[in-house]
Amino acid sequence: MADQTAGEPQEHLSDRYNPRGKLDSEVVYQGRIWNVVQDRFQLTDDGDPLVRDYIDHPGAVAVLVMNDDGEVLLINQYRQPTGMNLWEIPAGLLDVEGEDFQLAAARELAEEADLTAETWHVLTDFFNSPGSSSEAIRIYLARGIGEVPQHQLHERTDEEAEIELAWLPLDEAVDAVLEGRLHNPSAVTGILAAAAARTRNYENLRPADAPWAAHPTQRHLWSNSGDEGSAAVPPVDQD
């Protein structure tokens, strides 16, 4: 039996773009914000067709806001699917066609927290639930915080009208994650990523305009590396 506990070290371990043979695709449910799509595809050329349903999602951006004291901003709002008030970080859908990703994040920060930021970096990218949704999320680290001018304040409605804000030292936010007190995926991912980035003095973070090849609208950025079905994200200059 092969040793499952050891293996050759892999440099630059990375997800790869590896689309399989799609036979057909159809929208089986059309929703108010997103649709459910059913794909029929083959894993291999001689394999039997497989059918998978998933949410066709425009993607989202989120913002881990950090002030000069190293505290991070959390916002609290009600989420109907969970029946819970969750502590989250500012975030929103990429539902404005052609909108720049970072500008979308800045818009969400202004709308949900009445804040602006001077310094932006990509903190991390992830798929929220890749077995059931195409949703790709990019989390930014935003620093150099300022307030939105009074005459430009966004009027929040519905669930957003109940938003409450809290500033928390990063270490306390990490404790809240590890103790199971926070559940929002962007908040959990962003807080832990920020804590990891802090150990390197945030010097390894990508610029705000770094390519995002994993987003469904940006798949053309993947470049074939020579192996069948493999791909690599284009190199990004570091700040």
pLDDT at 83 over 60: yes
Tell me the catalytic residues: 160
Supply the pLDDT for residue 216.
Answer: 86
**60-207 belongs to which homologous superfamily?**
Nucleoside Triphosphate Pyrophosphohydrolase (3.90.79.10)
Mean pLDDT, the chain, rounded, equals: 89
Question: pTM for the complete prediction?
Answer: 0.88
- Closest C-alpha among 213, 216, 203 to residue 235: 213
pLDDT at 16 over 50: yes
Condensed to tens digits (0 to 9), the pLDDT of residues 166-176 reads 999 999 999 99
Average pLDDT (45-63) is 94
- Label residue 233 by pLDDT band (50, 70, 90): very low
C-alpha–C-alpha distance, residues 82 and 87, integer Å: 13
pLDDT at 64 over 60: yes
Q: pLDDT above 90 covers what percent of the chain?
A: 69
pLDDT at 217 over 80: yes
Instruction: Give me Rg for the CA atoms of the chain.
Output: 20
Most confidently modeled range among 92-101, 138-147, 150-159, 225-234: 138-147
Tell me the domain boundaries of the chain. Answer: 17-56, 60-207
C-alpha–C-alpha distance, residues 60 and 135, integer Å: 7
Query: Between vectors from CA 219 to CA 48 and to CA 95, what angle results, nearest 5°?
Result: 105
